[in-house]
Amino acid sequence: MPSLGQRETQVLATIIESYIASASPVGSRAVAEHSGLHLSPASMRATMSDLTDLGYLEQPHTSAGRVPTARAFRLYVDSLLRPLPLGSAEREAISDELSRQELEISGILRRAANLLSGHARQLGMVVAPSEDEARWRSIEFAPAAEGLVLAVLMLEGGLVRTRTVRVDERYGQDELVRFGNYLNDHFRGLSLSEARDRIGHELARAGSRLEEMCMRALALSRRAVEHMGDDRELIVNGTLNMLDHAEFTDVGRMRDLLAAIEERSRLLELLDRTLSERDVRITFCQDVTDGAPDGLRGCSVISASYGGDAPRGVVSVVGPLRMDYAKIVPVVQCVSRALTQLFRERFAAAPSRLP
């Protein structure tokens, strides 16, 4: 693909920004008025025709103006975008909202999704971190019913997970308390994945060397934590915002979007690609090779990871291809950085106790 000259670049940027504002095809007269280029109508039409031939513009109807393609938006966000930084008051308001007293991490992440959708007027999504990275703080057991034991695992940072475990024998409350004390002495400070591996290792090699109480405690804890961390939370906020955009006024298109939101595993796969990025990632969901759910075709996903060295997740905004990237990218960055700071404070690194 040949590089564009200054004239073509300026015309393309003008068309993209006009299309973002209007959602309508952009004609040569509008480009002439807003581009700052003193071109004759014939020269302007010729330039737009060249951009169409190069795959940056398309003409929906014979007599209509042009609309930018995904290729044009990719050039725009990679080379031409001039983000509009948030003011200090807006940044502080976002940070303060996320820092309000909240015991549960899930509550903080729901606020983050609400902030994203509210500021961007699009769909806000937040992927919770995998609990496998969070460190064991304590576990408690309690009889739940005949043949059932309730396990409550508390992880550093305010993560709490419960699991009802089916058992074949009866456990007394005092015995379950001893189980919890033994396990916490051995596994506090380990990540959940480290603790899970250590439990399996101890059970495999211990044999008769362990007291019966220790063996029973380990066996119960293995059943309690074996699948914890598998079911990651995906928080979605602002679905109704999409009805404000011309692209989603069609009932069928909106139904496709809602169906895409339900494809949780594919959404997580798409958003998790951001975990390896150092900055904001912008994905255009245009073809099957991007792995996005079918209902996101024609959409854009602006995402950033959060957490730093602490348990990490992803914040994102989903909307039509013509989103106002200059305004929305700084919002995603701000929420990502605020969550990262909060997670670093909550998830203080603890030394592993694995041998």
Sign for the CA dihedral angle at 144, 149, 150, 154 comes to: positive
Closest CA to 26 of 5, 53, 52: 52
Which residues is 164 bridged to in the sheet?
150
Question: Could you give the strand order of the β-sheet that contains 299-306, starting from the edge strand earlier in sequence?
Answer: 234-237, 123-127, 313-320, 299-306, 281-285
Going by the DSSP 8-state scheme, the letter that residue 121 receives in this structure is T
Task: Note the pLDDT of residue 280.
Answer: 94
CA-to-CA dists, residue 109 to 1, 133, 160, 193, angstroms: 42, 17, 14, 22
- Report the chain's terminal Cα–Cα distance, integer Å: 55
User: Contact, 235 vs 268, CB < 8 A?
Assistant: no
User: Rounded CA gap, 103 and 154, in Å?
Assistant: 12
Work out the number of other CB atoms within 10 angstroms of the CB of residue 246. Answer: 11
Pairing of strands 123-127, 234-237: antiparallel
Q: Give the burial class of 144: count Cβ atoms within 10 A of its Cβ; 0-12 exposed, 13-18 middle, 19 or more buried.
A: middle
Task: Note the pLDDT of residue 290.
Answer: 61
Low-confidence ranges of the chain (pLDDT < 50): 1, 288, 349-355
Domains of the chain (ranges; CATH) run 6-80 (1.10.10.10), 88-129+233-346 (3.30.450.40), 132-225 (3.30.390.10)
The DSSP result for 214-260, as a single string, is HHHHHHHHHHHHSSTTSS--EEEE-GGGGGGSGGG-SHHHHHHHHHH
Task: Note the pLDDT of residue 207.
Answer: 57
In three-state secondary structure terms, 10 is helix
Q: Which pair of tokens denotes residue 303?
A: 């995402």
In three-state secondary structure terms, 68 is strand
CA-to-CA dists, residue 141 to 78, 218, 219, angstroms: 53, 12, 13
Predicted model pTM: 0.79
Biggest distance spanned by C-alpha atoms of the chain = 91
Task: Note the pLDDT of residue 102.
Answer: 65
